[in-house]
Structure 1
């Protein structure tokens, strides 16, 4: 299965935030949309970074409540792991596990076209396993 198939099911919507916005704004957007991470982008098309709940929690621990007034760029991860729509789900699962990332923006021709979470990847893999199981059961029952 490819990432493009995952995006077809879940949609291509990506909530972005400008790097100059405050960390407080990020928390509001995360809560409003029920998300764990936002892509940092000044134009909504190009990935400049990613900011997660984990980034904010660690920043608060290290720098205190004053962090809430700081710009997103002060806590975002600038080196973002991305993937193409044609990437295999199994390959992305491996990358996410090895790099310890839970959200990966999907980029096509340098343009942001979606985002995939570890939950999306796990669901896709479970769907693949279930389809394989059903095929094996059918094979065994019908010979």
Structure 2
């Protein structure tokens, strides 16, 4: 299975925030949409960075509540690992595990076209295993 298959079921909507937004705005967006990360983008189509709940928590621990007034660029990750829609999920899982990241923007021809979280990958894997289990149970019981 490929990332494009996950996006087909999940959808390709990606929330972005401007790099000149402050961290308080980031926290509001994350909470309102119940998401763990947001792509930082000047134009909504390119990936300039990514900002996550982890980034906020680390910055708060280091600098205190004053960080909420700082620009997102003060806490975001600028070197973002991205994947193409035709990337196999096994490769994506390896990237997420090796790099200890939970969100990967999906980019095609330099344009942001989705985002995949570790939760999306786990859900997909559980669905695959359930389908296999059902097929094996049907085969064993003869109920094809």
TM-score, length-scaled by structure 1: 0.95
Q: How much does 1:34 deviate? A: 0.8
Q: Which residue of 1 aligns with 2:77?
A: 77
User: Matched residue of 1:31: which SS?
Assistant: helix
User: Matched residue of 2:87: which SS?
Assistant: coil
User: Matched residue of 1:38: which SS?
Assistant: strand
Aligned length: 143
Q: How much does 1:89 deviate? A: 1.2
- Could you give the per-residue CA deviations for residues 43-81 of structure 1, whole angstroms, max 9, x where no partner exists? 000001000010011001111111111100010001111
Q: Which residue of 1 aligns with 2:89?
A: 89
CA distance in 2 between partners of 1:109 and 1:43 (Å): 15
Deviates more, 1:52-61 or 1:128-137: 128-137
Q: Which residue of 2 aligns with 1:58?
A: 58
CA distance in 1 between partners of 2:141 and 2:90 (Å): 29
* 1:1-143 to 2 correspondences below 5 Å: 1-142=1-142
CA distance in 2 between partners of 1:127 and 1:90 (Å): 15
Moved over 3 A (4+): none
User: Matched residue of 2:112: which SS?
Assistant: strand
CA distance in 1 between partners of 2:104 and 2:79 (Å): 11
CA distance in 2 between partners of 1:132 and 1:91 (Å): 21
- Could you give the per-residue CA deviations for residues 19-43 of structure 1, whole angstroms, max 9, x where no partner exists? 1100000001111111110000010
TM-score, length-scaled by structure 2: 0.94
CA distance in 2 between partners of 1:115 and 1:33 (Å): 14
Q: How much does 1:104 deviate? A: 0.5
Structure 2 gaps of 5+ residues are: none
Structure 1 gaps of 5+ residues are: none
